[in-house]
């Protein structure tokens, strides 16, 4: 008799209200023979994602993780490190092995149990990381928190648990750095986020290290006041897409899906419009579907998804990409084109797709222009105080001055001479 063994792996999925409370509401299976990912609910009223309402039948994905799980998968630098580590340890590697290795250490509105045990991680002093921003420090951070690095993005980065000076509170931070191909990327992102904040858009809290080698970005998915994890979902998840599709979409799709789910539509769409305009004015060619998201304050496992308060996540991952790739274009289409749209097209976008009035788009666009003017002047001061930032900083200023002076003009790509 011939016996056929089918290898099926399983991850338990929990929703979290208070930090200490977990409630199992589903199971994720992986069929290795068929390369199928299958999720089944075990609780009728506990949806794990806005686009995965309860149903008695299975959610089945061929060759790919469901978007809500795929959202946390690492990319680029971290992916290569984890692939090498797990391949050596396990003998082979796939998305299921990587996800099941990382998921027990994910702290959020979803939590998991898998064949891998949860790890007790140490914490480090924030001042040490801020003051000793060396390559050795970054390598130590990566090695210490490797099993916790369920974060996406191709830039060198790592999660870290840090304690602020004279505080007993531990917080999760994303520590970002840069290599020779993207010099001063941490400072670039810091300055770019300051520009977005000047336009009146909430941004992720961040700070630069002493030598500008690290950018520390505080996680925004935890409500310290209520000791509760916030729900967070990227637009990519809401659209039912995986990470390899993050450049396959449009800003129209972003506005439509966010409008459909948020609670305060008027306030949200003004903020989202300014967020998109600032990405154009700052020449951020990497504002893709993973770089916009929503938060909700009542985890779906509470049993009342209809009563959720849902709002736009703060701006994050904003950089001037043209400073490194002078022919760069926007990550997504607007009106079917990947070009640097000027004022007329942006205002039309705000009225047509953000559903704003003439006065709202005019006021919002003016605030963005004023923010760009302010950040140019601030950047000039940062350059004087940080000579290592001068080459990239001056390049960013030239690009932004061109954007300010030519904001009414649409460009397929920017003139090479301004770089």
Considering the domain architecture, whether residues 265 and 313 belong to the same structural domain is answered as yes
Considering the domain architecture, whether residues 257 and 367 belong to the same structural domain is answered as yes
Q: Looking at the 3D structure of the chain, how many domains does it have? A: 2
CB contact at 8 A, 255 and 353: yes
Q: Which tokens hold the place of 137?
A: 């420090």
- Coil vs helix vs strand at 111: strand
How many residues can be counted in the chain? 419
Return the exposure string of 165-183: e unless at least 16 CB atoms fall within 10 Å of the residue's CB, then b. eeeeeebbbbbbbbeeebb
What pLDDT does residue 154 have?
A: 73
pLDDT digits (tens, 9 = 90+) for 217-242: 999 998 877 778 899 999 999 999 99
Considering the domain architecture, whether residues 304 and 175 belong to the same structural domain is answered as yes
| Structural domain contains residue 3 | no
| Structural domain contains residue 64 | yes
CA-to-CA distance for 127 and 118, rounded, in angstroms?
27
| Structural domain contains residue 78 | yes
Considering the domain architecture, whether residues 108 and 135 belong to the same structural domain is answered as no
| Structural domain contains residue 1 | no
CA-to-CA distance for 388 and 91, rounded, in angstroms?
44
Considering the domain architecture, whether residues 192 and 147 belong to the same structural domain is answered as yes
With a CB cutoff of 8 Å and minimum separation 6, the contacts of 411 are 339, 340, 342
Considering the domain architecture, whether residues 63 and 182 belong to the same structural domain is answered as no
- Model confidence at 214: pLDDT above 90: yes
| Structural domain contains residue 118 | no
Considering the domain architecture, whether residues 162 and 107 belong to the same structural domain is answered as no
Considering the domain architecture, whether residues 353 and 390 belong to the same structural domain is answered as yes
Please compute the mean of the pLDDT values over residues 369-378 and round it to a whole number: 98
| Banded pLDDT at 297 (limits 50, 70, 90) | confident
| Complete DSSP assignment for 30-54 | EETTTTEEEEEESSTT--SSTT---
| Complete DSSP assignment for 234-272 | EHHHHTT--GGGTTSSBHHHHHHHHHHH-S-HHHHHHHH
Q: Given 91, 113, 135, which residue is the final one in a domain?
A: 113
What pLDDT does residue 135 have?
A: 94
| Structural domain contains residue 119 | no
Considering the domain architecture, whether residues 134 and 105 belong to the same structural domain is answered as no
CA-to-CA distance for 186 and 213, rounded, in angstroms?
6
Considering the domain architecture, whether residues 21 and 167 belong to the same structural domain is answered as no
CB contact at 8 A, 27 and 39: yes
| Structural domain contains residue 52 | yes
Report the percentage of the chain scoring pLDDT > 90.
Answer: 75
Q: Given 113, 137, 171, which residue is the final one in a domain?
A: 113
Query: To which residue do tokens 């909700």 refer?
Result: 296
What pLDDT does residue 6 have?
A: 42
Query: Which helix or strand (DSSP H or E) is residue 125 part of?
Result: strand 124-125
Query: Which helix or strand (DSSP H or E) is residue 206 part of?
Result: strand 206-208
| Structural domain contains residue 2 | no
CA-to-CA distance for 139 and 124, rounded, in angstroms?
14
Q: Which residue range(s) make up the domain with 20? A: 8-113
Q: Given 64, 91, 113, which residue is the final one in a domain?
A: 113
| Overall pTM surpassing 0.85 (yes/no) | yes
Considering the domain architecture, whether residues 190 and 316 belong to the same structural domain is answered as yes
What pLDDT does residue 19 have?
A: 44
């Amino acid at each position: 008799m011939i016996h056929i063994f089918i290898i099926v792996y399983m991850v338990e999925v929990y929703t979290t209200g208070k930090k200490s409370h977990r409630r199992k509401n589903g199971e994720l299976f992986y069929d290795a023979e068929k390369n199928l990912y299958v999720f089944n609910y075990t609780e009728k009223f506990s949806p794990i994602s806005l686009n995965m309402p309860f149903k008695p039948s299975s959610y089945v994905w061929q060759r790919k993780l469901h978007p809500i799980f795929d959202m946390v998968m690492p990319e680029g630098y971290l992916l290569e490190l984890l692939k090498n580590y797990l391949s050596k340890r396990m003998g082979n590697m796939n998305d299921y092995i990587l996800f099941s290795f990382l998921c027990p250490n994910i702290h959020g509105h979803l939590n998991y149990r898998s064949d891998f045990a949860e790890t007790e991680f140490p914490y480090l002093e924030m001042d040490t990381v801020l003051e000793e921003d060396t390559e050795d420090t970054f390598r130590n951070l990566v090695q210490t928190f490797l099993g916790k690095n369920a974060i996406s993005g191709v830039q060198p980065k790592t999660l870290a648990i840090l304690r602020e000076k004279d505080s007993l509170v531990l917080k999760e931070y994303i520590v970002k750095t840069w290599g020779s191909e993207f010099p001063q990327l941490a400072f670039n992102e810091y300055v770019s986020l300051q520009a977005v904040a000047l336009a009146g858009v909430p941004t992720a809290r961040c700070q630069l290290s002493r030598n500008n080698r690290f950018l520390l970005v505080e996680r925004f998915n935890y409500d310290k006041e209520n000791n509760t994890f916030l729900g967070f979902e990227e637009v990519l998840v809401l659209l039912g897409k995986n990470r390899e599709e993050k450049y396959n979409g449009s800003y129209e799709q972003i506005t439509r899906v966010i409008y459909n789910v948020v609670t305060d539509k008027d306030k949200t769409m003004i903020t989202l419009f300014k967020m998109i305009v600032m990405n154009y004015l700052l020449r951020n060619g990497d504002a893709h579907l993973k770089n916009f998201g929503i938060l909700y304050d009542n985890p779906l496992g509470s049993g009342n998804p209809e009563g959720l308060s849902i709002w736009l996540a703060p701006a994050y991952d904003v950089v001037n990409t043209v400073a490194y790739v002078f022919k760069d274009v926007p990550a997504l289409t607007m009106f079917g084109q990947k070009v640097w749209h000027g004022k007329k097209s942006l205002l039309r976008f705000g009225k047509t797709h953000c559903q704003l009035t003439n006065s709202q788009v005019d006021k919002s666009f003016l605030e963005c222009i004023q923010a760009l003017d302010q950040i140019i002047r601030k950047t000039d001061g940062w350059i004087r105080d940080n000579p290592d930032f001068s080459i990239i900083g001056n390049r960013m200023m030239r690009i932004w001055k061109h954007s300010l002076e030519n904001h009414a003009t649409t460009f397929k790509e920017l003139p090479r001479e301004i770089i």
